[in-house]
């Protein structure tokens, strides 16, 4: 874990109320795409990302710099509020 305990993500908690810092992909150009909503299942704070895309999910990503051989802690909170099938995937790497 980095010694400064600094969040390396821009807007990692979505508290700007926008997708600031993130790139978004809606693979199949679904009519409904995810968005940032206030008071919708936020773990902390006021905002959360709700993926309203159907039938294909949205993808969010952002790049950030790390230091080789340095340890980092990555955490997130996920709630499943819809009927199955549901999926989640986190990928770290180039």
Domain boundaries, the chain: 1-81
In the predicted structure, residue 83 carries a pLDDT above the cut 60: yes
Cβ–Cβ < 8 Å for 41, 48: yes
pTM above 0.85, yes or no: no
Based on the number of CB atoms within 10 Å of its own CB, is 35 exposed (0-12), middle (13-18) or buried (19 or more)?
middle
**78-93: average pLDDT:** 78
| Per-residue pLDDT tens digits for 1-56 | 445 678 899 998 889 999 899 988 876 665 666 777 787 777 888 988 887 666 67
Q: What is the pLDDT of residue 1?
A: 47
């Amino acid at each position: 874990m980095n010694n400064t305990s600094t969040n390396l993500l821009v807007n990692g908690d979505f508290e700007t109320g926008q997708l600031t810092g993130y790139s978004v992909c809606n693979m199949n150009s679904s009519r409904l795409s995810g968005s940032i909503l206030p008071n919708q299942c936020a773990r902390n704070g006021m905002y959360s990302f709700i993926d309203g895309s159907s039938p294909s999910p949205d993808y969010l990503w952002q790049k950030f710099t790390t230091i080789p051989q340095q340890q980092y802690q990555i955490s997130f909170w996920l709630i499943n509020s819809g009927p199955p099938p549901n999926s989640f995937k986190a990928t770290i790497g180039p």
